[in-house]
A and B are shown apart, each in its own frame.
Chain A
Amino acid sequence: MSQDRVYNVLIVGVGGQGIILASDVLGKVAAKHGYDVKKNEIHGMAQRGGSVSSHVRFGKTVRSPIIKMGEADILLSFEQIETLRYFPFLSVKGQVVVNNQKILPPSVFTGQQEYPQDVLERIKTKAPSAIVVDGESVAAKIGNLRVLNVIFLGVLSKFLDIPAETYEKTLKESLKPKLVDINLKAFNEGRSMAPA
């Protein structure tokens, strides 16, 4: 990662999945590492099951708080079809990390529309380096479904040049003491799942 460039991470999913906490931690990690940081998301309706996206940008100097479409280096997606909704934000050289979870939108759970088929295959055809993570199983193994977001932060950390200690320190500072251990475990579990 060059010193002058700006790194763009787009985190997407469904309200309630912990996207905003993940992007808050990433923003703080980047700031602690010495980068200029900007981050933006649309919230307000985030708790009510809507589509959520959070833009995190860091580098020497960051101007716009939102990523230019086509310039995201990493698309970190917590839900299958949300990946597709924000796909054009990804750069042609960008990396996809996707949770294999499906969360049904209202038109699907009421039987009006179908949930699209073969989403992961379509993603892999277009972005062969895409990593699919079974986030729910990993979270269940760790013992709390709510650590899903930190597992993904762990996977993401392998694609950035910031040392793991900075994430761990930030997680310790950002979380309630009783949640620190399980989240550190989740972070390291996620980190071990990314290709070396």
Chain B
Amino acid sequence: MKELLSGNEAIARGAYEYGVRLASAYPGTPSTEILEYIGERYPEIIAGWAPNEKVALEVVAGASYGGSRTLAAMKHVGLNVAADPFMTLSYTGINGGLVIVVCDDPEMHSSQNEQDTRNYAKFGKVPCLEPSDSQEAKDMIGEALEISEQFDTPVIFRSSTRISHSMSLVELAERKEGKRELGLKKDPVKYVMLPAMARKKHPLVEQRLKDVAAFAESFPYNKVIMGDTSVGIISSGVAFQYAYEVMPKASFLKLGMVWPLPEKMIRDFSSKVDKLLVIEELDPFLEEAIRLMGISVEGKNLTGRCGELSPEKLEIAITGKSSAKSIGSIDIELPMRPPNMCPGCPHRATFTALKKNKVYVAGDIGCYTLGALPPLGMLDNCLCMGAGIGIASGLARTLKDVAGGKAVAVIGDSTLFHSGMTPLLELAYNGGHSTVLILDNRITAMTGAQHHPGTGFTLREEPSVNVSVEKLCESFGLKRVKTVNPYKIKELEKTIKEELEVSEPSVIIARAPCALLKTGRVLPDKPFRIKQDVCTGCKSCINTGCPALEFVKIDLPEKGKKRKGFSRINAALCVGCGTCQEVCKFDAIEEAS
């Protein structure tokens, strides 16, 4: 019996079936579930969250050096963080098979850019495999581990949102252990990348790429499907599925290995078709490589480089129109429905206090990035994980009095442990008047509640360290460190004001657990209510953007009142955080009895 698995479930299953002994990751959409499934389902695999992707890859490298089959998982931008170990891991090579699963996010459903990971494979001179459905995702983890061991190389396994989060049927198999002997092996020429050793390694890396390219000619996941020869399509990943759906009669060369490329196979295929097309998402990666072979090919001039493809986009790009008979659209203006902070979210309280201080906010990545959206509109930049503190520091030190007392950085607890500690150290070291707000909600929230070194638990819910943010700051030599309850907005507002006024670095830890967490809960889970006759309709509560609040307009003027409407609380959504009550100047909000 086949099982319906998502791409991420299938990758986790592949790790299990093909003898992976250790897996490490930092959460990031669309890759997060891979390690979650490994943690839940496969106790045979040693698995844990790493503070960031660089560490995940280093832990995996160590396990591989000791002979274990290993897997690291991350989103596309995670490989930027892990790029340093990645680039030289290509030189040292591996011992036990090593797979780096990297999930791209074309269309940026949940990302800050849409970089194409295939470029990293070329840059690092390592093979890159790309599955087209869940069965391939599972099976090709096995292929990736074999290739890794056969050619002494890390292997990039590229997924994308539409592979990782699509479900399809998968035939399961039993687990087979890896073949390498486990143990400590001294081999400095292979593993110590001093210049003299690295110089010997580089030519081997170049030769390895040629060897893998020769292997790619007979790699079973590079396959030709001959049909009508007027058009031949070279494609991979989910783009292959769209192309096959739209042009079922065409000839295809479906690549399971997108780097290095099987040149002979590509030449042979192109010689059999009248016109050659490359269908790929994002960069013209295959197209340019094929054109360099001197083969005439089309692709990006039709499909474009930005965003993801879809069956209709592809059909329109190739044939000029869609063959589907749509019912059409109903043309009225629809309000957008962006994601929003949840009712009771402590970040809403923190941003409300920041808004009262009218500050410039250097942001970071997490649920609090949603603070950029109206009605809060309180984030002024967001670059990458851990960037906010450094940006605030740079602004403060160059603008001096212009930014003094007016700029802060915000960063979450998980992001602080990921890559915020070193910029905080820089701030302590080089000084300046920056104020850093650490929004400590006790979890990695944006990706769906994963543990980190500050939660006290591991991936498998085993008790572990619970890093003290206060002590961490103190050990960096920061003298002004205050901890506040964000729901006490007036108090937080006052603390922010005080810290903005001092001319040395300061840290405010705004600590309250994520409103979705069931453990350590401080929220009463009892709704508030608005005294309708007392409410003046000033919208102070509405402007916090809480989804449990609603502004009810009044059409006919009321006797003796100027208000245009009043606020109302949806008792089914309200968890009683009290943020609205804190901002209400008219005592119109009370606990519902």
Point out residues on A near B: beta carbons under 8 Å: 14-15, 24, 27-28, 31, 36-45, 47-51, 62-71, 81-82, 84-85, 87-94, 104-113, 115-116, 122-123, 126-127, 145
Residue of B169, B326, B341 with most chain A CB atoms under a 10 A cut-off: B326
Interface residues of B in 322-366 (CB under 8 A from A): 322, 324-330, 332-342
Whether A70 contacts B167 by the Cβ 8 Å rule is: no
Please tell me if the beta carbons of A27 and B167 are within 8 angstroms of each other in the complex. Answer: yes
Chain A residues near B288 (CB-CB < 8 A) = none
Docked-complex contact B162 and A66, CB < 8 angstroms: yes
**Given A31-B4, A48-B342, A69-B326, A40 and B167 contact (CB-CB distance below 8 Å):** yes
Provide the residues of chain A in CB contact with B322, threshold 8 Å.
Answer: 68-70
Q: Is B431 in contact with chain A by the CB < 8 A criterion?
A: no
Judge whether A68 and B30 touch: CB under 8 Å.
no
Inter-chain CA distance A108–B565, complex, in Å, is 13
Main secondary structure of the interface of A (DSSP, over half): mixed
Chain A residues closer than 8 Å to B551, beta-carbon distance: 109-111
A37 to B245, CA, bound (A): 14
Say yes or no: B244 contacts A127, CB within 8 Å.
no
In the complex, what distance in Å separates the CA atom of A129 from the CA atom of B267? 53
B14 CB → nearest A CB, Å: 18
Partner of A37, one of B109, B168, B311, B333: B168
Supply 14 A–B pairs (Cβ within 8 Å), ascending by A: A40-B167, A47-B342, A48-B342, A48-B370, A49-B342, A68-B315, A69-B311, A81-B334, A91-B324, A91-B327, A109-B550, A111-B542, A112-B375, A113-B335
A14 with B337: in contact, given A63-B241, A106-B547 (CB under 8 Å)? yes
Q: Which residue in chain B gives the minimum CB-CB distance to A39?
A: B167
Q: Inside 8 A of B109's CB, which chain A residues have their CB?
A: 42, 44
Candidate in B327, B328, B334, B341 with the most chain A CB atoms within 10 angstroms: B327
Question: Contact at B311–A68, with CB atoms within 8 Å?
Answer: yes
Does B341 lie within 8 Å of A69, measured CB to CB?
no
Q: Find out whether the CB atom of A48 lies under 8 angstroms from the CB atom of B4.
A: no
Contact check, A92 vs B325: say whether CB atoms are below 8 A apart.
yes
List chain B positions with a Cβ less than 8 A from chain A: 2, 4, 29-30, 32, 109-110, 133, 161-162, 165-169, 238, 241-242, 244-246, 310-312, 315, 322, 324-330, 332-342, 367, 370, 373-375, 446-448, 516, 539, 542-543, 545, 547, 549-551, 553, 565, 572
Residues B336 and A105 in contact, CB atoms below 8 Å apart = yes
Question: Quick check: A88 and B328 within 8 Å, CB to CB?
Answer: yes
A69 to chain B, nearest CB (A): 4
Q: Is the CB of B542 within 8 A of A70?
A: no
Most A CB within 10 A of own CB, among B4, B516, B551: B4
**Residues in A neighbouring B2, C-beta threshold 8 A:** 31
Task: Tell me which residues across on chain B come within 8 A of A14, comparing CB atoms.
Answer: 337
Q: Is the CB of B310 within 8 A of A123?
A: no
Q: Which residues of B contact A145 (CB under 8 A)?
A: 572
Asked if residues A106 and B238 are in contact (CB atoms below 8 Å), the reply is no
Do A70 and B324 touch across chains, with their CB atoms under 8 A apart? Answer: yes
In the assembled complex, the Cα of A89 lies from the Cα of B325 at a distance in Å of 10
| CB <8 Å contact, B329 and A37 | no
Q: Which residues from A are CB-within-8-Å of B341? A: 48
| B449 CB, min distance to chain A CBs, angstroms | 9
Per the bound structure, the CA–CA distance linking A69 and B315 in Å amounts to: 11
Name 20 extra pairs, CB < 8 A, besides A48-B342, A92-B327: A24-B167, A37-B167, A40-B162, A44-B29, A45-B339, A49-B340, A66-B311, A68-B312, A69-B324, A84-B330, A88-B326, A88-B327, A106-B337, A106-B338, A106-B375, A109-B547, A110-B545, A111-B551, A116-B335, A122-B330
Contacts of A31 in B (CB 8 A): 2, 4, 169
Q: Are A109 and B167 in contact (CB under 8 A)?
A: no
Instruction: Take A89-B326, A127-B327 as given contacts and tell me if A49 and B332 are in contact as well, using a CB distance cutoff of 8 Å.
Output: no
Q: B342–A68 contact, CB under 8 A? A: no
> A38 with B342: in contact, given A91-B324, A116-B332 (CB under 8 Å)?
no
Tell which of A64, A69, A90, A92 touches B245, judged by Cβ atoms closer than 8 Å: A64
Closest chain A residue to B447, Cβ basis: A44
Q: How far is the CA of A186 from the CA of B446 in the complex (A)?
A: 32
A55: nearest residue on chain B (CB-CB)? B166
**Chain B residues with CB below 8 A from A37, complex form:** 4, 167-169
Residues of A within 8 A of B543 (CB): 110
**Across-interface contacts of A93 in B (CB, < 8 A):** 325
CB pair B29–A50 under 8 Å, yes or no, is no
- What residues on B are CB-neighbors of A112 within 8 Å? 374-375
> Roughly how many angstroms separate A111 CA and B341 CA in the complex, as a whole number?
18
Residue of B nearest to A52 (CB): B337
Bound: A163/B43 CA distance, A: 38
Give Cα A83–Cα B446 distance, bound, in whole angstroms: 27
B310 touches A47 (CB 8 A): no
A141 CA to B545 CA, complexed, in Å? 32
Shortest Cβ distance from residue B45 to the other chain A in the assembled complex, whole angstroms: 24
Q: Are B333 and A116 in contact (CB under 8 A)?
A: yes
| Residues in A neighbouring B448, C-beta threshold 8 A | 44, 47
Q: Decide if B547 touches A49 in the complex (CB within 8 Å).
A: yes
Chain A: minimal CB distance from B514 (Å): 11
Asked if B330 and A49 make an inter-chain contact with CB atoms under 8 angstroms apart, the answer reads no
B377 smallest CB distance to A (angstroms):
12
Interface centre among B162, B238, B324 (most CB of A within 10 A): B324
Closest to A48 in B: B339
A94 to chain B: closest residue by CB: B327
Q: Which residues of B contact A67 (CB under 8 A)?
A: 311
**CA–CA, A40 and B165, complex, Å:** 6
